[in-house]
A and B are shown apart, each in its own frame.
Chain A
Amino acid sequence: MTSYLCAISFGNLVTRLPGGISQGLVWGLMALGVFITFRILDVADLSVDGSFATGGAVAVMLMIAGVPAWAATLIALCAGLVAGLITGLLHAKLGIPAILAGILTQFALYSINLRIMGMSSNQSLNPNRYKMVITMRNIPMAILIGVIISAVIIAILYWYFGTEQGSAIRATGTNNEMSLALGINTSNMKILGLILSNGLVALAGALMAQYQGFSDVNMGRGAIVIGLAAIIIGEILCDAIFKKGCNFAIRLAFVVVGGIIYYIVMVIILWLRLDPNDLKLFTAIIVAAFLAIPYLRGKSKNSFGWAGKRSLPYVEAIKNSLRKGV
């Protein structure tokens, strides 16, 4: 016990935090992509696990081939758009349920990602040889760049979902029937949403690969769960701070904040010397708990158990009056 306490020092935590923040920013960016499908389109798109790795693979391979980092990152984003298009077509044009369409794309992307990386499960970038958009070797700079990219993306999303087309996507997500009746081609809107979402996720994947200096075919595993965690943490925080609800841009910003908080929690867990192999279990528990909270909260106000308890005095009263009557 004492040796355990000696091993965890507060200074150690402080030095690790900035790294957690910069990683959280990149994952927060990925969570913005998940937000488009999960919250705006109201579908859970599982292809993101694959498209995140695709983004990383494309960026790394292009940089190895001599393409400048910014261009490689943008092309990686485009690869994500294509991945989203596939899921969208499977779902909206071939009638496959969204969850299955996402799983199929994710499954197929595993092979494709291996192909992109020359049949190797990972490819590394020597940070001395390549100039990266974002790297863990300069964490303050990484945080700055992460914040700038997030701000730009949030501004673009805020603008886009305020336009006629963006509004049509939101309408499709809230009420498909109505959207059809108003002349919105809802299957195209779903495809468009999935395209945008996966593009953003691949962009985050490209940044993550540069940040850590390698791409790995498994780097996107669990991305959807981390994305959901970031969204939910962000929303709970947002609701706590702005009790009356807040505008769309702030909600988006809180998704990124959610990603950062998630990673800070991960840093703390690692700092406490818990086994990193248990991280996924912790994440799943946290996400399940937060997803369940709104439901349980509603239940606690409106449950049969409580109604039954509240009914007891009345039943007693009836019993008493009957007794007196006898």
Chain B
Amino acid sequence: MLWLEHVSKTFNTGTINERKALIDAQLHIAPGEFVTVIGGNGAGKSTILNAIAGTWPIDDGAIILDGINVTGLPEHKRAPFIGRVFQDPKMGTAADMQIEENLALARRRGQKRGLKWGVTKAEREEFKEKLAILGLGLEDRMTSKVGLLSGGQRQALTLLMAALMKPKLLLLDEHTAALDPATAAKVLQTTDHLIEENQLTTLMITHNMKDAIEHGNRLIMMNEGRIIYDVSGEEKQKLTREDLLQKFSDIL
């Protein structure tokens, strides 16, 4: 599904602020895997997600997604394959546009945007059903501006938008970090639900070790631009907080 072959990225090359954010990263993710990514600040977690999403070109290596070499493609051309949720709830939705307009934008991910209506009647029905599943009452506020929603509501909507077209890969970049614990738990529940329902291959960064252990079927730990720990299957299920803390202290 996803192959990262010897991927490297250095920021501010040749300056005093030079930082090797990714060093020879190797990662292979099989279809249907739900991988949680943990690591300290500056470990390269967000960098690896941005490299896959195409926020900037990588310095070396190859990224192959669903059999397609996407290394040379800019972000908007990778978007057909990738759904994304950012840490900042404001980043994943257009505040000045209506809920249904936002969903309609996501509905056309990777398609040509021509002169047909931006939102069709059939789509409104579809969106209504999907919003109802979130259980936030958004299905009755379809023409409200997204800017009026709370952070948790916006993040749930972004998730729905990311999963709407069943992307080959779902990238979640600490998408619950800016939410209060109760809301975060609810958004994570929605995340699990959407991933299961749509059989999405997922990469989820989190700072919360408990979340990293409880969610997904594989866990990778990063440090200083390298993947230093990779665990899946039964071993992952047996993993405890203490094991991870031990790993963290081993680094130091």
**The one of A164, A171, A174 that contacts B115, using a Cβ cutoff of 8 Å:** A164
Interface positions, chain B 69-100, Cβ under 8 Å from A, are 75-77, 79-80, 82, 84, 86, 90-97
State the main secondary structure of chain B at its contact with A.
loop
CB distance from B46 to the nearest CB of A (A): 14
Q: Is B137 an interface residue (CB 8 A)?
A: no
Contact B91 A183 (CB under 8 A): no
Contact B97 A164 (CB under 8 A): no
**The one of A160, A165, A171 that contacts B97, using a Cβ cutoff of 8 Å:** A171
CB distance from A182 to the nearest CB of B (A): 5
Q: Given A170-B97, A178-B93, A183–B118 Cβ distance below 8 Å?
A: no
Number of chain B residues whose Cβ lies closer than 8 Å to a Cβ of chain A: 33
Q: Is A1 an interface residue (CB 8 A)?
A: no
Contact B117 A183 (CB under 8 A): no
CB distance from A128 to the nearest CB of B (A): 43
Contact A165 B114 (CB under 8 A): yes
Contact A181 B94 (CB under 8 A): no
Q: Given A180-B79, A182-B106, A185-B76, A174–B113 Cβ distance below 8 Å?
A: no
Q: Is A218 an interface residue (CB 8 A)?
A: no
Q: Is A175 an interface residue (CB 8 A)?
A: yes
State the main secondary structure of chain A at its contact with B.
helix
Q: Is B101 an interface residue (CB 8 A)?
A: yes
Contact A167 B113 (CB under 8 A): yes
Contact with B along A154-183 (1 / 0, CB 8 A): 000000101111111011011101111111
Q: How far is the CA of A315 from the CA of B6 in the complex (A)?
A: 64
Number of chain A residues whose Cβ lies closer than 8 Å to a Cβ of chain B: 23
Q: How far is the CA of A177 from the CA of B90 in the complex (A)?
A: 10
CB distance from B90 to the nearest CB of A (A): 8
Q: Which residue of A lies closest to B83 (CB)?
A: A181
Q: Is A100 an interface residue (CB 8 A)?
A: no
Contact B114 A181 (CB under 8 A): no
Q: Which residue of B lies closest to A167 (CB)?
A: B118
Contact B76 A180 (CB under 8 A): yes
A183: chain B residues within 8 A (beta carbon): 76-77, 79-80, 108-111
Q: Given A171-B105, A185-B76, A178–B94 Cβ distance below 8 Å?
A: yes
A174: chain B residues within 8 A (beta carbon): 94-97
Contact A168 B113 (CB under 8 A): yes
Contact B76 A178 (CB under 8 A): no
Q: How far is the CA of A186 from the CA of B105 in the complex (A)?
A: 13
A167: chain B residues within 8 A (beta carbon): 97, 101, 104-105, 113, 118-119
Q: Given A164-B117, A167-B118, A175–B108 Cβ distance below 8 Å?
A: no
Contact B92 A164 (CB under 8 A): no
Q: How far is the CA of A165 from the CA of B106 in the complex (A)?
A: 13
Contact A175 B104 (CB under 8 A): no
Contact A171 B94 (CB under 8 A): yes
Q: Is B238 an interface residue (CB 8 A)?
A: no
A179: chain B residues within 8 A (beta carbon): 76, 94, 105
Contact B76 A164 (CB under 8 A): no
B82: chain A residues within 8 A (beta carbon): 181
Contact A163 B117 (CB under 8 A): yes
Q: Is A184 an interface residue (CB 8 A)?
A: yes
Contact with B along A116-147 (1 / 0, CB 8 A): 00000000000000000000000000000000
B84: chain A residues within 8 A (beta carbon): 181
A162: chain B residues within 8 A (beta carbon): 117-118
Q: How far is the CA of A173 from the CA of B95 in the complex (A)?
A: 11
Q: Given A174-B96, A175-B93, A175-B94, A180–B75 Cβ distance below 8 Å?
A: yes
B200: chain A residues within 8 A (beta carbon): none
Q: Is B21 an interface residue (CB 8 A)?
A: no
B94: chain A residues within 8 A (beta carbon): 170-171, 174-175, 178-179
Contact A182 B105 (CB under 8 A): yes
Q: How far is the CA of A293 from the CA of B182 in the complex (A)?
A: 39
Contact B118 A166 (CB under 8 A): yes
**The one of B95, B106, B114 that contacts A164, using a Cβ cutoff of 8 Å:** B114
A164: chain B residues within 8 A (beta carbon): 108, 113-118
A171: chain B residues within 8 A (beta carbon): 94, 97, 105
Interface positions, chain A 270-316, Cβ under 8 Å from B, are none
Contact A181 B75 (CB under 8 A): yes
Q: Which residue of A lies closest to B164 (CB)?
A: A182
- List, sorted by A's number, 19 A–B pairs whose CB atoms are closer than 8 Å: A163-B117, A164-B117, A165-B114, A167-B118, A170-B96, A171-B97, A171-B105, A175-B90, A175-B91, A175-B94, A175-B95, A179-B76, A181-B53, A181-B84, A183-B77, A183-B109, A183-B110, A184-B76, A184-B113
* 8 extra A-B contacts, CB within 8 A, seeds A183-B79, A184-B105: A164-B113, A164-B114, A164-B116, A170-B97, A179-B105, A182-B79, A182-B106, A183-B110
